[in-house]
């Protein structure tokens, strides 16, 4: 993983270098830059994970095309051995297949890739930019007053350069010849096509395969283990895939103290599956003191994103200080299976299905953004098996009736996911973890984290200031003093209208209030037994 910046136009090389260095935290290992005869510039801040010796970017293709890429292409060896068998490669880096696919197929090749990416190719006066189907990797684009186009992993490289900029839409590519083109059109984008019965064996198979491919690394990797269902399953699957090897697996959890819900559950899982486990703690004072820096990294003022990113920020520093560069995590399962507690209140199976599709389509603005930017603040790459495109094909087409929780019968959220891994002969997890109720990450690290943060923000914002919220922030007007406080910090670093409009707020549906904390939902902490 890394940070990329492309300027399509004419820009001073030294200025481009300085802009790229604004995201040097994404690539602390080395930098690369190429300026072409027409003035176009590609820059790369590298976190070395694959091909440590020859994988420096930008990477040149067979002819004159170059690529910069942030992410991982998991089927790169398959592509090299099949569709690109007639091409000569200069590195063993997964990124190189991108430029060779471009040379062979032109712009229409993104569906050949299995992975997570943001990339830009420059080929003379032609160029191409693309983002992975779900938006696991962050990507922005914009235009300055001189007409130069910018493409970058983070908005901080372009926020004071461009007249307008916005998040690059997931599942699209862009070129000067075609404009913006949607290449990712899965069946489940039409909710009426989601009619399949749940196949538990299929769910288990595709999630295992999605996890297996994400173990690809030339450096040590670990797992984020909150103690919730999703991260616990990924940790257990990862440990199973390492059976018969001498590999050690490190797991990590974070909280205000070792007695908070997540850390207690995480230790149970770690003991059960046999990881080398690390409890990481932070104080409320440390969390509040880091908020400003975290908002700068996140490039967001969304309340739930900031609440949840703070513990992840401290956890990531601990992990990178250990020398680990890659971790697997459980993001995406709640959107796919309707795991948030507000899904209990869905009025029908059809509305439930529509909401899962909507939530998956918005992951790039929420959990993917949080997971990437709070970890990459310390040069740590996070991989998310639940968002594998083939796993999504297998589970997003399942009918809502099979996914929807039912309090009247005790059917919990994410029932089919739990049932798929309920192996009595060779258990994946302790039963109390496999059937544990959803606990949102910012709650599970210790309930007093959110309570104290809200109190701090309320003390920082006067009633008079908050009364002017709509006048000061007409777009996405803050509804609470906490949101107002975060917005003022965001505005200090990213004052433009484009920056404000790039952020979407995470708001639950079918709930009496808009508080994103799971504790705000009436079903929280009610006993839900296994069906």
Residues belonging to the active site: 2
Phi, psi of 436, rounded to the nearest 5 degrees: -75, 140
3-state SS string for 242-307: CCCCCCCCEEEEEECCCCCHHHHHHHHHHHHHCCEEEEEECCHHHHHHHHHHHHHHHCCCCHHHHH
What single string gives the DSSP state of each residue in 379-393? T-EEE-GGG-HHHHH
Structure tokens at 473: 């922030």
The answer to whether the CB of 250 falls within 8 A of the CB of 222 is yes
* Burial of residue 406, with CB atoms counted within 10 A of its CB: 0-12 exposed, 13-18 middle, 19 or more buried: middle
Element (H, E) at 90: none
Instruction: Say whether the peptide bond before residue 364 is cis (omega within 30 degrees of 0).
Output: no
Determine the 3-state secondary structure of 42 from DSSP. Answer: strand
Provide the angle, in degrees to the nearest 10, between the axes of the packed helices 229-241 and 200-213. 70
Beta bridge partners of 140: 152, 167
Q: What's the rounded Cα separation, in Å, for the pair 159 and 86?
A: 42
DSSP bridge pairs for 306: none
The pairing of strands 250-255 and 162-167 is: unpaired
DSSP type of residue 4: E
User: What is the rounded CA–CA span in Å between residue 276 and residue 118?
Assistant: 33
Conformational region of residue 414, where left means phi above 0, alpha means psi within -120 to 50, and beta covers everything else: left
């Amino acid at each position: 993983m890394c940070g990329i910046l492309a300027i399509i136009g004419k820009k001073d090389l030294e200025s481009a270098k300085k802009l790229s260095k604004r995201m040097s935290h994404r690539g602390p290992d080395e930098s690369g830059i190429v300026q072409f005869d027409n003035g176009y510039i590609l820059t790369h801040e590298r976190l070395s994970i694959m091909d440590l010796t020859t994988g420096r970017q930008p990477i040149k293709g067979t002819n004159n095309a170059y690529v910069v890429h942030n992410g991982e292409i998991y089927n790169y060896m398959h592509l090299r051995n099949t569709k690109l068998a007639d091409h000569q490669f200069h590195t063993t880096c997964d990124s190189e297949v991108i430029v060779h696919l471009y040379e062979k197929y032109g712009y229409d090749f993104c569906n050949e890739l299995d992975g997570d990416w943001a990339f830009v190719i420059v080929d003379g006066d032609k160029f191409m930019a693309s983002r992975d189907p779900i938006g696991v990797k962050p990507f922005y684009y914009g235009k300055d007053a001189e007409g130069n186009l910018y493409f970058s992993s983070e908005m901080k490289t372009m926020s004071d350069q461009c007249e307008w900029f916005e998040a690059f839409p997931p599942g699209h590519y862009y070129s000067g010849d075609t404009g913006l083109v949607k290449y990712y059109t899965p069946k489940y984008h039409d909710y009426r096509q989601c009619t399949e019965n749940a196949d538990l064996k299929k769910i288990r198979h595709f999630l295992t395969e999605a996890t297996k491919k994400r173990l690809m690394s030339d450096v040590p990797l670990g797992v984020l283990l909150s103690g919730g269902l999703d991260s616990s399953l990924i940790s257990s699957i990862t440990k199973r895939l390492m059976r018969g090897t001498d590999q050690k697996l490190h797991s990590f959890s974070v909280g205000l103290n070792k007695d908070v819900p997540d850390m207690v559950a995480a230790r149970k899982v770690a003991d059960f599956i046999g990881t080398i486990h690390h409890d990481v703690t932070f104080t409320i004072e440390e969390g509040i003191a880091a908020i400003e820096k975290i908002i700068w990294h996140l490039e967001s003022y969304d309340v739930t994103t900031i609440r949840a990113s703070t513990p992840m920020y401290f956890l990531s520093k601990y992990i990178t200080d250990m020398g680990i560069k890659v971790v697997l995590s459980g993001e995406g399962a709640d959107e796919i299976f309707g795991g948030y507690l507000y899904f209990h209140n869905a009025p029908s199976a059809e509305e439930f299905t529509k909401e899962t599709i909507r939530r998956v389509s918005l992951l790039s603005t929420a959990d993917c953004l949080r997971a990437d930017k709070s970890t990459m603040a310390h040069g740590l790459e996070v991989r998310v098996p639940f968002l594998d495109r083939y796993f999504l094909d297998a589970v997003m087409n399942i009918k809502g009736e099979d996914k929807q929780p039912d309090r009247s019968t005790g059917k919990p959220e994410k029932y089919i996911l739990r049932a798929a891994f309920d192996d009595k002969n060779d258990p994946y997890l302790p039963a109390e973890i496999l059937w544990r109720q959803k606990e949102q990450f910012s709650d599970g690290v210790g309930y007093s984290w959110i309570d104290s943060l809200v109190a701090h923000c309320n003390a920082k914002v006067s009633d008079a200031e908050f009364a002017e919220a709509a006048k000061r922030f007409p777009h996405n007007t803050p509804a609470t003093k906490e949101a107002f406080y975060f917005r003022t910090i965001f505005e200090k670093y990213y004052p433009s209208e484009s920056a404000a409009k790039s952020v979407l707020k995470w708001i639950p549906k079918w709930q009496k209030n808009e508080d994103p904390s799971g504790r705000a939902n009436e079903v929280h902490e009610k006993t839900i037994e296994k069906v």
